[in-house]
Structure 1
Amino acid sequence: MTPPTRTQLGVFFILLCPVNIIGLWWAVGSPLVMDPNSICRKTKWLAGKQAELCQSQPEIINEVIKGAKLGVRECHYQFRFRRWNCTSHNKYFGKVLQQDIRETAFVYAITAAGVTHAVTQACSMGNLLQCGCEATRSRAAPRPATSTSTEAVKWEWGGCGDDVEFGYEKSKQFMDGRRKKGKSDIRTLLDLHNNEAGRLAVRNYMRTECKCHGLSGSCTLRTCWRKMPHFREVGNRLLESFNGASKVMGGNDGKTLIPVGWNIKPPDKQDLIYSAESPDFCLPNRKTGSVGTRGRACNSTAPDTSGCDLLCCDRGYRDETVVYQENCLCRFHWCCMVQCKECSVRKQLSLCL
């Protein structure tokens, strides 16, 4: 059997709890053609609601995979300038997820958000039979907008709003499927909380879009619908939660989480939480999942996390000139071709020692 690729390891490790994910890696084929049926046939690695969803609605699993990949890409983007850059290297990524640290909280949250976003988007695109556009019959009418004329502009719900509630429920069903709420396990409580924070980063920030109708460009009637936030906005919001994450410990009853420190308010549902301090990720350490920062490109003038002082952990850096080819002087020729020349570009890089 062909060993799993790095892409497979990165995507599927965060779909399920780390303990039971290994078998699923080997069940999956090419990452370019991830057939959900091949995954669902290996249901002995799934349990409870996950197995039920796989058996009854395998097409949902395809969107779950897309959502997980969406979350992984966003994690790479948000952590691109940090010591831990969301690497999915198979020897290290699992070790990170076995710790109850900030980085783990973000991974679970961004994955739950990605699944919510992908499933909801599939509904709006008509790719799933179980759902479609958001139902608006039972919703209150939008507040009328004021107008410069004597009459207020009339509003009504229409168009194709995103059915985020369906995406939210499917994400909850799959991501929380192996976790039992109320179980006396701090890891379970942390994962459930951070999964929910990710889903709420999508559901709680729906925006209203409208289209005007009327003669001669007038806006006598507006048709409005609700759309999800762009996923980059979701990632930015969760990164803010990561920066302000709350450290907690388990209560005496084993079913509650208590903030660590005096005069600290209990975290709300949208906050990320963790229970252990993160390693510094400066040097390679297989035990903690750190690949180190040696050879990472840094900004020698930046004072933030992308700066060489912080990213290189005060070990110093070296400057290196890199020459690469890129398209340039592109011209459009009718019809329909773009022709470009190749130009050599020299770039000065600072690399961590």
Structure 2
Amino acid sequence: MWPFAAAQLRVFFCLLYPANIISLWWAVGSPLVMDPNSICRKAKRLAGRQAELCQTQPEIVSEVAKGARLGIRECQHQFRFRKWNCTTHKKYFSKILQQDIRETAFVSAVTSAGVLYTVSQACSMGELLQCGCERTLNRVPLPRSPTPGTEATAWEWGGCGDDVEFGYAKSKQFMDAERKQGQNDIKSLINLHNNEAGRLIIKNYMRTVCKCHGLSGSCAVKTCWKKMPHFREVGDRLLDRFNGAFKVMGGNDGKTLIPVGHNIKQPDKQDLIYSAESPDFCLPNRRTGSPGTRGRVCNGTALDVSGCDLLCCGRGHREETVSFQENCQCRFHWCCVVQCRQCAVRKELSICM
């Protein structure tokens, strides 16, 4: 039986496409194909802590599903120019999730981060009864920060900070369920590490947002609170970690992971890790989950991963002209309508052979 780590991600894959529940069941090989509204009705097939969450806080499970979608959308953005473009095609995605490769590490991390993000955001927006704004009672007030030639400005914590501790706990509860099943195999250890890396990319990069208070627009007092980084920034940081991911192997004790290679430092908690090399993704291969790159749009002048030489794997490319309609000559009419014409546009595209 596959480790629960892969099964968990297959659940999230299915949450992305609730309309195709029946047709996707066989593709992912799991009875957990369901939408957020029905996932809790199958709680007996989930791990203990997940079943508990379903039974007692189903509204949080809905935010978990939103986090899954957010994570996959960010994955598709970050990999849009790569040979593997984070496709969720039913023939390929589940095969990717069964492997301990770099790509799966990124999916685990960005999905775990997405769950933390949506749950924390729902707390701040007052959409969940179990949580709200971040508590600031125990915070040490910020010091006065005088600017040369001006009076000191008083700082104090206030506003509505994001309660990432609550989001972190719920992401951990749902994503790390295999920990409670006593699994210490390398797949589970890698998955747990990458889940945590995704959460820490949010937790360790919180930003401070401030608002001025005072007469006539002065800034005699500032109220500050902590907000999560924009999720695009989370994706960018995780892509950097993907590019520098560590290959590991299991230690003799079955509980540790050891970096492969000489003079390799131990990965830290925010690094992504994997144990198997990725397929080249050049040709379709249902066994490895590779859809191939034939028919992909490439950049004929770029020298990076989006360039035709790399993306087309040396097979060459063809030029193709496409025509489409887009808005043009838009005008604003008082009040308050924008009217546009539809203009025909022709564009030259480079397509992988």
Name the Cα RMSD after superposition: 1.9
What's the counterpart of residue 9 of structure 2?
none
For 1:10 and 1:347, the matched residues in 2 are separated by: 35
What's the counterpart of residue 236 of structure 1?
236
What's the counterpart of residue 342 of structure 1?
342
Deviation of the 1:217 alpha carbon: 2.4
- Tell me whether 135-144 or 341-350 shows the greater mean CA deviation: 135-144
Query: 1:200-258: CA deviations, max 9, x gaps?
Result: 01111000011111122221111110000000000000000000000000000111000
Checking the alignment, whether the CA contact within 8 Å between 2:28 and 2:94 is kept in structure 1 is no
Deviation of the 1:179 alpha carbon: 3.4
Query: 1:101-149: CA deviations, max 9, x gaps?
Result: 0000000000000000000000000000000000001111123323234
- Tell me whether 317-326 or 337-346 shows the greater mean CA deviation: 337-346
What's the counterpart of residue 23 of structure 1?
31
In structure 2, do the counterparts of structure 1 residues 12 and 136 end up closer, same or farther at CA, with 3 Å as the change threshold? farther
What's the counterpart of residue 59 of structure 1?
59
Deviation of the 1:22 alpha carbon: 1.7
In structure 2, do the counterparts of structure 1 residues 337 and 12 end up closer, same or farther at CA, with 3 Å as the change threshold? closer
Of the three residues 10, 16, 25, the one matched with 1:11 is: 16
Deviation of the 1:47 alpha carbon: 1.7
Mind listing any 5+ residue stretches in structure 1 that lack a counterpart? 1-6, 29-33
Q: Is the partner of 1:277 in helix, strand or coil?
A: coil
Deviation of the 1:19 alpha carbon: 12
Mind listing any 5+ residue stretches in structure 2 that lack a counterpart? 1-11, 19-25
Counterpart residue identity of residue 69, structure 1: R
Correspondence 1:1-353 to 2 at 5 A: 9=14, 11=16, 22-25=30-33, 27-28=34-35, 34-35=36-37, 38-149=38-149, 151-180=151-180, 183-353=183-353
For 1:289 and 1:180, the matched residues in 2 are separated by: 29
For 2:66 and 2:203, the matched residues in 1 are separated by: 18
Checking the alignment, whether the CA contact within 8 Å between 1:10 and 1:72 is kept in structure 2 is no
In structure 2, do the counterparts of structure 1 residues 10 and 349 end up closer, same or farther at CA, with 3 Å as the change threshold? farther
Q: Is the partner of 2:31 in helix, strand or coil?
A: helix
Checking the alignment, whether the CA contact within 8 Å between 1:212 and 1:221 is kept in structure 2 is yes
For 2:42 and 2:27, the matched residues in 1 are separated by: 16
For 2:109 and 2:323, the matched residues in 1 are separated by: 39
Checking the alignment, whether the CA contact within 8 Å between 1:48 and 1:178 is kept in structure 2 is no
Deviation of the 1:21 alpha carbon: 6.9
Instruction: Tell me the TM-score normalised to structure 1 length.
Output: 0.91
For 1:283 and 1:350, the matched residues in 2 are separated by: 18
Q: Is the partner of 1:41 in helix, strand or coil?
A: helix
Deviation of the 1:181 alpha carbon: 8.1
- Tell me whether 330-339 or 198-207 shows the greater mean CA deviation: 330-339
Instruction: Tell me the TM-score normalised to structure 2 length.
Output: 0.91
For 2:172 and 2:104, the matched residues in 1 are separated by: 18
Checking the alignment, whether the CA contact within 8 Å between 2:27 and 2:94 is kept in structure 1 is no
Query: 1:188-207: CA deviations, max 9, x gaps?
Result: 10000000000001111000
For 2:283 and 2:201, the matched residues in 1 are separated by: 33
Deviation of the 1:150 alpha carbon: 6.0
For 2:317 and 2:28, the matched residues in 1 are separated by: 40
Q: Is the partner of 1:165 in helix, strand or coil?
A: helix
For 1:143 and 1:352, the matched residues in 2 are separated by: 58
Number of positions where the alignment pairs a residue of Structure 1 with one of Structure 2 = 335
What's the counterpart of residue 4 of structure 1?
none
Q: Is the partner of 2:179 in helix, strand or coil?
A: coil
Checking the alignment, whether the CA contact within 8 Å between 1:207 and 1:226 is kept in structure 2 is yes
Deviation of the 1:337 alpha carbon: 2.1
